[in-house]
Amino acid sequence: MLILKYERRNFFGKHVYTEDNIYDQTKEDVKKAFLFLSRNHDVTIEIQEEHTVYFWDCVDDFDNRKLTVRKFFTDKIGYEEEKKPFESVKKEIYKEY
């Protein structure tokens, strides 16, 4: 399952936390999600099958295109985290679909 997490403004101008998800995502779905991530610094992508979350850790990382990749261990007790160039992460993910 692909989950896109972000805040949006509602009709009254207030920020609303939103999660959009899709089961059995295609390469096009993943491309759309990463395009949205590339344009917004407050977006998180989670791919549940990989136990991985992709996000901009801070605005400086967004400006420098350094994406934080947090991979959770399958026992769900811990995780490992690293910063990678956005373009290389995109290429890795696209290869899988």
The reported pTM is 0.88
DSSP string, 63-87: HHTEEEEEEE-TTSS-EEEEEEEHH
Q: Give the residue extent of every domain in the chain.
A: 2-95
Place of tokens 């290869």: 95
pLDDT digits 0-9 by tens, 24-79: 999 999 999 999 999 999 999 999 888 999 999 999 999 999 999 999 998 778 99
